[in-house]
Structure 1
Amino acid sequence: MSPVASRRNLPARSRTPSAQQTKSEQTELKLLQTATWLFSERGFHGTSIRDIADAAEVAVSALYYYTNSKDRLLEEIMRRSLGVLTSSAEAAVDGFGEPAERLALLVGSHAVFHARNPRSAAVTDHEFTALSGKVRREILGLRDNYEALWKSVCEAGVRDGTFAERGSVARLALLQMTTGIAHWYRARGELGVPELWEQFATMSLSLMGAERDGERLTFASLELPAAELLIDRAHLPIEPRRKPSGI
């Protein structure tokens, strides 16, 4: 049982973190950040458990206290990434009933997540084939649940006449388009996150043929919250913000 799993089974009165627990959590987070960086650079199969231990400056024997294999690290990276991706999307559309607004918010949430967490997103998007058995099925289920949210929004828009019928290809195109942000977006580039959201939302509404009362819908024609709210929700602690110290 991992340190995290064992903590979940403690009675409520014993859950006040000790200095040792805090240090353990920090080490676990460092290992996940290091594994994320290495998997995104070298691929899962191109990274060994010793590579991770060396890059994190942790003894291999100590690393096995936190995980019994690099497969478990990959699983945890994907679970945490998909957890934040899904929760941020659900929170974004909560309280918005119109399909156009909901689609713009889904696009914004997805775009912001990939802009802010490019390495975690790359690992989650491209290393799925490294999973097997029960874990593979469970991660696929998490992905399917997330995509089901997009499907429901697109279908609702078609039903009420806001969107044109484009089929599943349009939804997949929207997801692929915004997922690609992780590969090219740079925080110090010419586009800030608010501008990135605006451009991708407008392109997405156009692709879906979004109209209301005969008027074409764009990002500017919708009432949406500030981008900072989406940025806050997209925070993912395991995303490495710098090169591991041991490399």
Structure 2
Amino acid sequence: MAPSAEDIHDKLAPSILSADFARLGEEIRAVERAGADMIHFDVMDGHFVPNISIGIPVMESVRKVTRLPIDAHLMISEPARYVEAFVKAGANSISVHCEVCPDIPAMARRIHDLGARASIGINPETDADKVLPFAEHLDMSLVMSVHPGFGGQEFIPAALDKLRYIRRELKRRGLSIDVEIDGGVKLDNIADVKAAGANVFVSGSGIFGKPDYGKIMNEMRELVVHTPSKL
């Protein structure tokens, strides 16, 4: 189920963790109108990460207000227990973390069997080689550029080296999968992460913290489009 080379293109993925939850439906419609390619949906359990966020009922509500693909980013200790529920609630893609996923191929098969795209996340302190041997089973690799658990953190520059390494290794093996970057992505660094090999850009406060979503996303897209990969 891994995508072909022509499926790999740049995508902006606003993270609703930074949206105004009192107006969540309106916020999602606003970023969709502004040109978002997908919605990033952060799930936290207070165990794998030191915070609790949103879950299945909110996913069901989000699914009703947008036609965009939704990536459920499961920052939880027991993802296998919940992947089916999130897909049934409307997720098009499931991202689980390698740190709590002892059998990545089995997890990918499970997600694919449910009809969703399979993605594996890598925390800042985790070596990319924990995931790369299984990349042929995946549709996307998610690189965390902050420590997961809270929105609004500063980008960790070492994530750029990890991105370069992952994209180089994927190219060496002839694999075309999405590489997503999540954490502290803003207008002032989105070109750097594009040059390092990312093609899916998660941004929370970098978009929802701005007064004009269309303007900031257009500026981000212009930088992405005009920044070649430097691998």
Q: TM-score, normalised by structure 2?
A: 0.28
- For CA contacts below 8 A with separation 6 or more, give which structure has more relative contact order: 1
Query: Which structure: greater strand fraction?
Result: 2
Structure ID, larger Rg: 1
Bigger helix share = 1
* TM-score for both structures, normalised by structure 1: 0.27
